[in-house]
Amino acid sequence: MTELSRRGLIAATAGSALLGASARAQEAAGPAPVRGADGAPILGPRNPAREAQDPFTVRPPATDHGTMPNLKWSFADSHMRLEEGGWARQTTIRELPVSKAMAGVNMRLKAGVVREMHWHKEAEWSYMLQGRARITAVDAQGRTFADDVGPGDLWYFPSGIPHSIQALESDGVDGCEFLLVFDDGAFSEDSTFLLTDWLAHTPKDILAKNFGLPESAFANIPKEELYIFPAPMPGPLAGDRMGGAGPIPERFSHRMLAQEPIRTRGGTVRITDSTIFPASKTIAAALVELEPGAMRELHWHPNGDEWQFYIAGEGRITVFGSESKARTFDYRAGDVGYVPFAMGHYIENIGTETLTFLEMFRTPTYADISLRQWLALTPHALVQAHTKLDRAAIDGLSQGKSPVVQG
């Protein structure tokens, strides 16, 4: 901007109700840290792209206060581990220090590409974002599991259970992409127990003795882990259903999108926990869709931290942390949000498209407490003494639960 046009802009906006002239001019470059008489324009270096994504961090509402831990991480800021035919990136306690209870991995595999046979200490919950994959597992009783999963399907592998994931081809989608959530924030995708890694670090005579084969049979085992690698496309699913001691009784997959959602004016919620997906003993989840302007109502969870993943749209939440602490965060597709145990919050769709996100909890069953329901079901004179609301307004509060409220 030339000095002349800058002065022109300042003159044109002089006397603007909320923003000072220089702040108004700065709005063109992004949100300014000016709120009424408080704040001042940024003079130093700026990162306009970042600031535009976090307007309520740059200019918090007056209700925000105190020091809250950071509750936002974007997978866009996570290291990409690139392998032949795919990639993985993770959001763990190392990226988002508050996330002690859970960690997440975003993984992409082209058709035929395998996330190699492995196991880990943590339980693994997954949501298929795009495309299809074949998953397999074997349990301690020699029972087997194999299924093909597509968009909106879940899987859950308990702690220590060995499994594999291989991308398929479907409807022109080359492979798949999915979100993994682990029930420990310290999880690392780089620290799982890999079949090829173990074989490469076991003496060949021991391998020979173990499998009853000559040592020469192991001449071609990989010298280091494969992790993500291309393999021949699998045949029909029926052919990959190994017998063993029979099928694993609690299926490791679940069709979350096939669940009839809770529908309210403004959006839908699907809740999947161990009451309908019995295998998923340590992770409960909710898939929420909010129309523009709609809001996941003020609530908290009485049983654990919330790990969020934003699939589409733009959302805003304010987290209340007691001791007058509150902070507002903006999220968009690909971001991870985190709400520590018991902290109050809402989630508002501030964009023009449907806001879709997942909430995960390290609990067997989903639970939330609705602020509105709490007030509606507490003696109204007592509520009035606290809130100074009109008695009629309190009497009119719905006693039912409506997780989503209209815009």
The catalytic site residues sit at 359
Query: What is the smallest separation between the CB atom of 35 and Mn ion, expressed in angstroms?
Result: 27
Query: What is the smallest separation between the CB atom of 266 and Mn ion, expressed in angstroms?
Result: 16
CB of 317 or CB of 394, closer to Mn ion? 317
Residue 302 near residue 340 (C-beta atoms within 8 A): no
Residue 221 to residues 66, 136, 137, 241, Cα–Cα distance (Å)? 56, 22, 22, 25
Task: List, in sequence order, every residue forming a beta bridge with 355; answer none if it has no partner.
Answer: 290
189 binds Mn ion (CB under 5 A): no
Query: What is the smallest separation between the CB atom of 210 and Mn ion, expressed in angstroms?
Result: 24
CB of 95 or CB of 306, closer to Mn ion? 306
CB of 285 or CB of 394, closer to Mn ion? 285
Q: Residue 56 — left, alpha, or beta (φ > 0 → left; ψ -120 to 50 → alpha)? A: alpha
Residue 284 near residue 365 (C-beta atoms within 8 A): yes
Segment 303-362, which members bind Mn ion (CB under 5 A)?
306
Query: What is the smallest separation between the CB atom of 16 and Mn ion, expressed in angstroms?
Result: 37
Q: How far is it, in rounded angstroms, from Cα 73 to Cα 93? A: 11
- Binding segment (CB under 5 A) for Mn ion, from list 116-124, 205-213, 372-380, 396-404: 116-124
CB of 32 or CB of 347, closer to Mn ion? 347
What residues contact residue 203 under an 8 Å CB cut-off, 6+ apart?
none
Give the x/- contact pattern for Mn ion in 287-306, rule: CB under 5 A. -------------------x
Give the x/- contact pattern for Mn ion in 117-136, rule: CB under 5 A. -------x------------
CB of 183 or CB of 306, closer to Mn ion? 306
Give SS3 for 377: coil
SS (H, E, C) 297-330: EEEECCCCCEEEEEEECEEEEEEECCCCCEEEEE
Q: Select the residue whose beta carbon is closest to Mn ion and give its number.
A: 124
CB of 173 or CB of 298, closer to Mn ion? 298
Count interface residues toward Mn ion (CB under 5 A).
2
Q: Pull the structure tokens for residue 203.
A: 């003496």
CB of 31 or CB of 304, closer to Mn ion? 304
Q: Which residues of 225-235 are buried (b: 16+ CB within 10 A; e: fewer)?
A: bbbbbbeeebe
Task: List, in sequence order, every residue forming a beta bridge with 286; answer none if it has no partner.
Answer: 271, 359
Query: What is the smallest separation between the CB atom of 216 and Mn ion, expressed in angstroms?
Result: 32
DSSP string, 167-189: E-EETTEESEEEEEEES-TT--G
Residue 343 near residue 371 (C-beta atoms within 8 A): no
Query: What is the smallest separation between the CB atom of 43 and Mn ion, expressed in angstroms?
Result: 38
Residue whose C-alpha is closest to residue 336's, from 354, 353, 311, 319: 311
Query: What is the smallest separation between the CB atom of 388 and Mn ion, expressed in angstroms?
Result: 27
Residues that bind Mn ion in the complex, under the rule CB under 5 A: 124, 306
